[in-house]
């Protein structure tokens, strides 16, 4: 009798907690109560699992994160239909997730689709453009930081070094100059703390504990490892607030020095107009943290990937250097415009971005209304996961989809050509704000360093490991490289 009662209770519990898919919802593995499809995913790195599901269920399929339905987009055609053709329908952001608690519903990256997001995105695009995005002033900022990278490398000539911290600090400094008007020495406590907080949270917010947080609300108050992400976020917000206060005290109205001054100017205008504005100090604090993260982690991890392949494939490095020497002969330094003449170098920089797939699952979207995709019905509020890696490695769009080869970006005449499936910055109205800055940084840093140094894989380091570390951004496993000066060649300093 007791066993029968237990069975009845178990059946009732299953009925109450079972997950029922909406009508005409994309196919996918069967979810189980409470956990959804968590058991179908390797939480340390689910990318292979997403690939297997796409082969079984098609380019548009569903999974459940706990009881929350999600649709995974795979391949260029599905991505284009959702994020470009039906961009407004898919332009939302999911709420009530770990990343939303970290950002407190503010900023620009994770804010849901609406007037607040539109105003802040428009402001960011205008302000970044006014501060030299894509112009000579931005090139000068980047070249200034490159000199500090060179100084660091000079100290490592003849030895081996781990470039991770150096590239993270350099990328952080470039965006700090734009946002705050400051750069920091690489051992400065503010910079090292800022970079550490963002690096740790980038790994946690797409890792196992984030999945558990998003899937099982009943565990959110427990002292589990995801609590560290919230402590990190609190500290980063306090540091940003300190910068806001310093700018309020030192800014001169009408003479903005940086992005933060521009925002404070905009706040003052709206206050004077007695406008019910979305612009406020709390929003500014999270806004600059959003832009700093977006401008640091992605660029530094792409640089780390690029140099990993340069040292692993010396023939590619040598061909890049030959082209650099030829095009820059007699010139003091590289310009971003030189990319139009450096077809192979330009192709290498793009191939590094493709193979790195730095933001593999983009930033999750959500549907803003009931809609459809690939013939399936997608209810309003459904979480959308754009698998950008599936596009960057998609058969039919690349000559060598599964191997590192700059030829993926060269046509039959050896000229640079960018396939339409090159979407490391996503697509549509939510695509990355900092694409122009990231492309400029990557090209100028790569060319300048390859012109002056040779980078070699250490003889005692074994074989290079290309397996990335999964998180919001993918990063290479830590590695070391030997640094050698190239010296002076005929035709100019290189």
Provide the residue ranges of all domains of the chain, joining segments of one domain with +: 21-493
- Measured distance CA(369)–CA(86) in Å, rounded: 11
pLDDT at 493: 41
Quick one: CATH architecture of 21-493? Orthogonal Bundle (1.10)
Residue 349: count other Cβ atoms within 10 Å of its Cβ: 25
Q: Provide Rg for the chain, Cα atoms.
A: 24
Q: Are 108 and 117 in contact (CB under 8 A)?
A: yes
DSSP conformation letters of 330-346: T-SS--GGGGGT-HHHH
- Measured distance CA(195)–CA(170) in Å, rounded: 10
How does pLDDT run along the chain (494 residues), one tens digit per residue? 444 444 444 444 444 345 788 899 999 999 999 889 989 988 788 999 999 999 999 999 999 999 999 999 999 999 999 999 999 999 999 988 888 888 887 888 888 898 888 998 999 888 888 766 555 688 999 999 999 999 999 999 999 999 999 999 999 999 999 898 888 998 899 888 888 888 888 778 767 788 888 888 888 888 888 899 899 989 999 998 999 999 999 999 888 888 999 999 988 888 766 666 788 888 888 888 888 888 888 899 999 999 999 999 999 999 999 999 999 999 999 999 999 999 999 999 999 999 999 999 999 999 999 999 999 999 999 999 999 999 999 999 999 999 999 999 999 999 999 999 999 999 999 998 888 889 999 999 999 999 999 999 999 888 999 999 887 788 899 999 999 999 744 333 43
For the stretch 393-432, pLDDT in tens is 999 999 999 999 999 999 999 999 999 999 999 999 999 8
Q: Are 244 and 281 in contact (CB under 8 A)?
A: yes
Helices (H) and strands (E) in the chain, counts: 16, 13
Q: How many residues does the chain have?
A: 494
Instruction: Report the DSSP beta bridge partners of residue 384.
Output: 71, 365
- Measured distance CA(357)–CA(373) in Å, rounded: 24
pLDDT at 494: 37
Sign of the CA dihedral 384, 385, 386, 391? negative
For the stretch 257-289, pLDDT in tens is 889 999 999 888 887 666 667 888 888 888 888
- Measured distance CA(400)–CA(383) in Å, rounded: 32
> Terminus-to-terminus CA distance in the chain, angstroms?
86
Q: Which two tokens stand for residue 157?
A: 């000539």
* pTM recorded for the entire structure: 0.90
pLDDT at 334: 97
- Measured distance CA(320)–CA(350) in Å, rounded: 13
Q: Which two tokens stand for residue 203?
A: 């790994």
Residue where the block lists tokens 């453009």: 129
pLDDT at 297: 85
Q: Which two tokens stand for residue 466?
A: 């290309």
């Amino acid at each position: 009798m007791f066993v029968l009662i237990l069975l009845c209770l178990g059946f009732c519990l299953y009925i109450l907690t079972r997950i029922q898919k909406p009508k005409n919802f994309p196919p996918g593995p069967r979810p189980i109560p409470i956990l959804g499809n968590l058991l179908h995913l390797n939480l340390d790195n689910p990318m292979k699992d997403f690939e297997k599901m796409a082969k079984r269920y098609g380019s548009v399929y569903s999974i459940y994160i706990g009881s929350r339905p999600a649709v995974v987009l795979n391949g260029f055609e599905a991505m284009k239909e959702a994020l470009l053709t039906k961009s407004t329908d898919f332009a939302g952001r999911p709420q009530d997730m770990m990343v939303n608690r970290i950002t407190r519903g503010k900023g620009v990256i994770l804010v849901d689709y609406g007037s607040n997001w539109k105003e802040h995105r428009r402001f960011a695009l205008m302000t970044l453009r006014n501060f030299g995005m894509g112009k000579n002033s931005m090139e000068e900022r980047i070249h200034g930081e490159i000199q500090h990278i060179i100084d660091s490398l000079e100290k490592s000539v003849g030895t081996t070094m781990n470039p991770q911290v150096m590239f993270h600090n350099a990328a952080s400094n470039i965006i700090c100059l734009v946002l705050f008007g400051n750069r920091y020495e690489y051992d400065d406590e503010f910079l090292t703390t800022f970079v550490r907080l963002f690096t740790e949270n980038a790994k946690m917010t797409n890792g196992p504990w984030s999945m558990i947080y998003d899937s099982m609300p009943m565990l959110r108050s427990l002292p589990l490892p995801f609590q560290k992400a919230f402590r990190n976020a609190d500290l980063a917000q306090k540091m940003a607030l300190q910068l806001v206060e310093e700018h309020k005290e030192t800014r001169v109205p009408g003479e903005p020095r940086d992005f933060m001054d521009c925002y404070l100017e905009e706040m003052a205008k709206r206050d004077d107009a007695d406008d019910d504005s979305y612009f406020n100090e709390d929003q500014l604090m999270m806004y600059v943290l959003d832009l700093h993260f977006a401008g640091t982690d992605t660029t530094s991890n792409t640089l780390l990937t690029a140099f990993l392949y340069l040292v692993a494939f010396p023939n590619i490095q040598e061909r890049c250097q030959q082209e650099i020497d030829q095009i820059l002969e007699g010139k003091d330094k590289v310009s971003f415009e030189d990319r139009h003449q450096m077809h192979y170098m330009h192709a290498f920089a793009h191939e590094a971005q493709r193979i790195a797939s730095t933001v593999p699952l983009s930033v999750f979207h959500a549907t803003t209304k009931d809609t459809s995709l690939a013939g399936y019905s997608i209810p309003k509020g459904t979480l959308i996961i754009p698998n950008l890696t599936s596009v960057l490695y998609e058969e039919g769009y690349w000559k060598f989809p599964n191997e590192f080869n700059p030829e993926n970006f060269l046509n039959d005449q050896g000229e640079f050509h960018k396939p339409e499936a090159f979407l490391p910055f996503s697509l549509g109205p939510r695509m990355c704000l900092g694409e122009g800055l990231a492309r400029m940084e990557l090209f100028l840093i790569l060319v300048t360093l390859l012109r002056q140094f040779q980078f070699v894989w250490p003889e005692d380091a074994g074989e290079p490991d290309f397996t990335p570390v999964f998180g919001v951004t993918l990063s290479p496993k830590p590695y070391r490289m030997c640094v050698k000066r190239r010296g002076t060649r005929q035709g100019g300093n290189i």
